[in-house]
């Protein structure tokens, strides 16, 4: 398989997503896949869905995408409110066939994809949509990590936590940052979190994605106009905290 890009956790942030695709194109990477959470938190779910439909070879079901069609009791109030906003923006009307296309695309997203000896999920191998593989699980939840790694024969690529980095077979998490942006995977299992395009939470507000070339995983950070995204969130009547966190990457 030739080099490909992985994006995740776009969260209706069109400025970040556009900037990431511009970087991917500049790198000459032609194949892009998405690990889910196209919607949620941000103000522009429909444009993001349409761009993903056009550009991604496949897209997985994230928990916020899942929330469009199911009960929201597992979401905190800010997240639930933003999902309800996305529902209002995306639910089909009898005269809006283009909106129906986006709605049905999201409804039909798969939970997992396996390609080239790699597993791709939004959350974890045990629960592809909802379970978090946290950076602290290696030392706080070793039984959980043993269970997860016991299901893997090769690398598993995830999103969901918005924290970029790699868990190796010792369960140690090495965070991806400017000083450690390239990882070479071994022959055994690993859990690779690709970070978040639309709402980073590792203290770096730049959008994050990875390029996978064989066993090499390279992280890329991309500046974008988060102030424009913030203004759209506020204009949409979403909670100001959803705008504020974009400037802090938290």
Residue 20 · residue 207 · CB < 8 Å: yes
H or E element at residue 21: helix 14-27
Rounded mean pLDDT of 47-73?
97
pLDDT at 111 over 80: yes
Rounded mean pLDDT of 166-194?
94
Give the pLDDT of residue 140: 95
The whole-chain average pLDDT of the chain stands at 95
Confidence of residue 93 (pLDDT cuts 50, 70, 90): confident
Sheet architecture: strand order including 190-193: 112-115, 118-121, 155-158, 190-193, 165-167, 173-175
Rounded mean pLDDT of 40-48?
97
Give the pLDDT of residue 180: 86
112-115 and 118-121 beta bridge pairing: antiparallel
Structure confidence by residue, pLDDT tens digits, 115-142? 999 999 999 999 999 999 999 999 999 9
Q: Residue 167 has which token pair? A: 């868990």
Compute CA distances 137 → 75, 95, 144, 161, 238, whole Å.
Answer: 21, 48, 7, 12, 32
What angle do helix axes 240-248 and 77-90 make, rounded to 10 degrees? Answer: 110
> Rounded to the nearest 10 degrees, how much is the dihedral formed by the CA atoms of 201, 190, 140, 75?
50
Confidence of residue 162 (pLDDT cuts 50, 70, 90): very high
CA pair distance 73, 78, nearest whole angstrom:
12
pLDDT at 96 over 70: no
220: helix, strand or coil = strand
Give the pLDDT of residue 161: 97
Domains of the chain plus CATH, in order, are 4-248 (3.60.21.10)
pLDDT at 98 over 90: no
Give the pLDDT of residue 94: 66
CA pair distance 11, 242, nearest whole angstrom:
11
190-193 and 155-158 beta bridge pairing: parallel
Residue 212 · residue 25 · CB < 8 Å: no
Give the pLDDT of residue 151: 93
Give the pLDDT of residue 95: 60
Rounded mean pLDDT of 88-93?
89
Give the pLDDT of residue 80: 97
Residue where the block lists tokens 């690779």: 192
* Residue 111, phi then psi, degrees to nearest 5: -85, -25
């Amino acid at each position: 398989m030739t080099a490909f890009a992985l994006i995740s956790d776009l969260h209706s942030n069109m400025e970040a997503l556009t900037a990431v695709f511009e970087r991917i194109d500049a790198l000459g990477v032609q194949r892009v896949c998405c690990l889910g959470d196209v919607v949620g938190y941000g103000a522009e779910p429909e444009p993001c869905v349409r761009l993903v439909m056009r550009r991604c070879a496949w897209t997985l079901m994230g928990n916020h995408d899942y929330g469009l069609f199911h009960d929201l009791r597992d979401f905190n109030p800010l997240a639930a409110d933003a999902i309800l906003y996305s529902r209002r923006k995306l639910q089909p009307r009898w005269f809006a066939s283009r909106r129906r296309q986006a709605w049905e695309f999201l409804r039909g997203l798969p939970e997992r994809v396996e390609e080239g000896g790699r597993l791709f999920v939004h959350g974890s191998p045990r629960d592809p949509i909802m379970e978090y593989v946290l950076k602290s699980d290696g030392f706080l939840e070793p039984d959980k990590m043993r269970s997860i790694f016991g299901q893997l024969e090769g690398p598993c690529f995830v999103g969901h936590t918005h924290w970029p980095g790699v868990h190796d077979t010792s369960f140690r998490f090495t965070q991806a940052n400017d000083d450690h942006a390239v990882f070479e995977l071994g022959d055994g299992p690993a859990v690779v979190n690709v970070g978040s395009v639309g709402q980073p939470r590792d203290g770096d507000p730049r959008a994050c994605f990875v390029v996978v070339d064989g066993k090499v995983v390279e992280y890329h950070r991309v500046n974008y106009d988060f102030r424009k995204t913030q203004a759209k969130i506020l204009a949409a009547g979403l909670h100001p905290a959803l705008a504020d966190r974009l400037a802090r990457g938290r």
